[in-house]
Amino acid sequence: MDSPWHCTVGANLRRRSAVKKILSGLRAWTVQRVSALYLLGFTIYFSLHLLINPPASQQMWRMYILTPAPQVTTLLFFAALAIHAWVGVRDVILDYLKPFPLRITALAVLAVGLAATTIWAGALLLG
Amino acid sequence: MRLSIYRYNPDADAKPYMQNYEIQPQPGDRMLLDILERIRAIDDSLAYRRSCREGICGSDGMNINGRNGLACTTRISEVKEPVVLRPLPSFPAIRDLVVDLSRFFRQYHSVHPYVVDPAPTRPEKERLQTPEQREEINGLYECILCACCSSQCPSYWWNPEKFLGPAALIQACRFIVDSRDKATEARLDQLNDVNKLFRRRVIMNCANVCPKGLNPAAAIERIRQAMLKASL
């Protein structure tokens, strides 16, 4: 006799590809909200910092942004931005783009665009 | 009373059209269903579903002046004329105001809408609940499956096959929060993917149109909170 559905469904879901579940369902929802909080906090802090203590020159700005704390928090900002944008735009693509080739192309363009932007920001900040 | 009603008979009509009717309400006619019954008395080709005529069976869900509702609980004194009646959006029209709800009920059955208890022995009498446990399912169990909410939900329009829709999800919530059910983890696991629940966009049309005054959007949020708690 087959097992009842409630005994098998959890195990079946756990067997699914980890890649497929990496940013879907609750995890994607949670990551989007956590990243939104970080983006909000960073934007407020950074804006206030620039208002209160504006750099006198490009050299001063460069010195400031390349010190470890701003460097890491800014890098995290771009990473959070990429993840947040991925979940949000992916949702829009899933809702509106129905033809599979169009959908997969849009998702690929989005993924490459966000990855390239984040890597570029990382290279600037660490360079 | 003037009405404009969606007509479509796939055996006879090349395409749907709107037919106008003018009906004089009689004493005792209070609800839109009473007027539809009068129309059918003079035009028996008009098709619509109805059964209990008092908002219990959920059969006569239709789009009334752009908003889903039950004809049997919609007062004729409160609708603007001409009353435009269309079948529930997003479902295939079978004929006139009758839609094919196969998908809707397939989604409803997919959430296993019954208490699951794998215990080998059954209780001798009933499965007891405290008043507090019973309180949990208030606002959920009253759903009559009229499909007004799912049919008015843009997220459901966009992904009708993948997103379960507010009606199936309020039913899922009803069993997730039920203290007698022992399959909560499996139920939450089942809904935790990119489509079944997480296509909802908090548009709240479901709560706005529910003829029973329920709030499927809040039920979906409860499921999400339960998922979050279970994952911690």
CB proximity list for A8: less than 8 A, separation 6 or greater: A2
Spatial separation of the C-alpha atoms in residues B214 and B170, rounded to whole Å: 9
A66/chain B closest Cα distance in angstroms: 36
Asked if A10 and B185 come within 8 Å (Cβ–Cβ), the reply is yes
Taking Cα atoms as reference points, which of B67, B66, B1 lies closest to residue B31? Answer: B1
Nearest CA in chain B to A31: B228
Asked if B228 and A30 come within 8 Å (Cβ–Cβ), the reply is yes
Nearest CA in chain A to B191: A25
Contacts of B153 in chain A (CB under 8 A): none
Q: Is the ipTM of this complex over 0.95?
A: no
Spatial separation of the C-alpha atoms in residues A25 and B194, rounded to whole Å: 5
Partner A contacted by B189 (CB < 8 A):
yes
Asked if A13 and B198 come within 8 Å (Cβ–Cβ), the reply is no
CB proximity list for B12: less than 8 A, separation 6 or greater: none
Asked if A28 and B227 come within 8 Å (Cβ–Cβ), the reply is no
Mean pLDDT, rounded, for A41-54 = 94
Structural contact between residues B155 and B203, judged by C-beta atoms closer than 8 angstroms: yes
Partner A contacted by B198 (CB < 8 A):
yes
How far separated are the first and last CA of chain B, in Å rounded? 58
In this complex, which of B186, B195, B224 lies closest to A9 when CB atoms are compared? B186
pLDDT digits (tens, 9 = 90+) for B174-212: 999 999 999 999 999 999 999 999 999 999 999 999 999
pLDDT digits (tens, 9 = 90+) for B44-76: 999 999 999 999 999 999 999 999 999 999 999
pLDDT digits (tens, 9 = 90+) for B88-109: 999 999 999 999 999 999 999 9
Model pTM score: 0.88
